[in-house]
Amino acid sequence: MRTGRILLFIVAAVVAILVGLGIGYWTFGHPRAAPKTTALLLRPPKPLPAFSLVDDRGTPFTKASLGGHWNLLYFGYTHCTDVCPTTLADLNQMAGELEDLPAAEQPHVYFISLDPKRDTPALLKRYVQYFNPAFTAVTGTVTDLRALTAPLGVAFSYDPPDQSGNYAVDHSSVIFLINPESEEAAIYTPPMIFGRMAADYRAIIKYYGKR
């Protein structure tokens, strides 16, 4: 995806997120009340909408699938040549940085494809396992995907295909941290630096654990 379009979709995503959350979801209390992170922390967390997708094993993936553990969601597609593989590599590095945490506190990582026409569950499984065998890929129809992406503020669109039928998917490039109650707790924005993201993650789960 071209750099200009990446920046455009980042801006669009941030605007959509702020509009979608509404002023009531944002509380800026005393600066010492929350950890200092480069991630955008939501206080209080925002409940996810109901949605129905399918994972890389062909089993249903719903809001309930995110309950009971911490989660990192990233939206992209397998034919992406730049930001998607780079971000998944960073998420793999981040997961490695967090291996010392108790199993219950380690995040589940989900790659959600915005290209259901080409990204079958079988292809998605091979793709994510290249980066980390523990990662899970998810997809669904465009309509079903928008049930989740629209409330989160994830923008995406399809470029016209070339003569060979290949096309790019322009999309937002942010990572969502979802808490064990299936609520949006924080948002990571570029640049994605795995060491910084891991440190932010530790601070955030510690903060929520004491609330």
Q: Does domain 3-20+37-157+167-209 have CATH number 3.40.30.10?
A: yes
**Of 117, 115, 90, 109, residue with least CA distance to 170:** 115
Does residue 115 contact residue 80 with C-beta atoms inside 8 Å? Answer: no
- What residues does each domain of the chain span? 3-20+37-157+167-209
Q: What pLDDT is attached to residue 128?
A: 98
pLDDT in tens, 153-201: 999 999 999 999 899 999 999 999 999 999 999 999 998 999 999 999 9
Q: What pLDDT is attached to residue 5?
A: 53
Q: Tell me which residue has tokens 């903060």.
A: 207
Q: What pLDDT is attached to residue 210?
A: 56
Q: What pLDDT is attached to residue 36?
A: 85
The residue ranges of the chain whose pLDDT is under 70 are: 1-33, 210-211
